[in-house]
Amino acid sequence: MERRQAIKTILAATAYTMLWTSCAESNVIDFLKDGKLILNQKHQDYLGIISENILPIQKVIKNIELPADFIMRMMNDCQSSEDITKFALGFDKYKVFISESQASISEKDADQTIQLIKQKIAETEPSEDLIYFIEKVKNLSIQNVKTSAYYLTQKTDYQLIPEAYQACVIL
C-alpha cells in the first residue's frame, strides 16, 4: 500500500476515536484462542466505535447488524488464523497509537487533533499490521451495510438474479 493511502486510512479511523478509552488494560492478542478471536465487551464496543467513525450509520443502526458483531463473525469464519492474528496485532498497535497520541492532545479542537495525528504518522512509519487492521475494519464495515436487508430492500432497486437477458435481433 502507498504511504499516502496508509496515512489517509489511519487518519480516517483515528480522527474521532481520540477521546474514547482504548481498553489499555489488556491486549487483543490475549483473546486469540484456537485461531479464533473472541473479544470482551469493552473491545467489542471499541471496535464498534472505530467502525462507526469510518462509516457512520447511527441513523439506520436499528436496521443493520452491529458492525463489531459482523466484523468479528466475518474475521472468525472467513479468514485464516494468520489473518486473524495479523488483525489482532493491528488492533493492539492501533490502541498503542491512540494512547500515545492522546498523551500529546490537550485541546478538543478537531483541526488540531487531525494535525497532531498527521504529525504522529509522519514521525513513525505505520506498521503493516496497523494498516491491515484499519483496511479490514473499513472493508467489513462497508460490507456489513451493503449486505444488510435494509440496504438491499430500501436503498437499491429490485433486480432479478440473474439479471434479465437483454437481446436484440436484427432482421
- 114-128 confidence digits (pLDDT tens): 666 667 667 777 788
Q: What b/e readout covers 77-93, taking b as 16+ CB neighbours within 10 angstroms?
A: eebeeeebbbbbbbbbb
- 97-111 confidence digits (pLDDT tens): 877 766 554 444 555
Q: Cell numbers 458492525 label which residue? A: 67
| 117 to 15, 22, 60, 80, 98: CA distances (angstroms) | 7, 16, 30, 31, 9
Percent of the chain with pLDDT over 70: 63
Average pLDDT, the chain: 76
67, with CB counted inside 10 A (0-12, 13-18, 19+), is buried
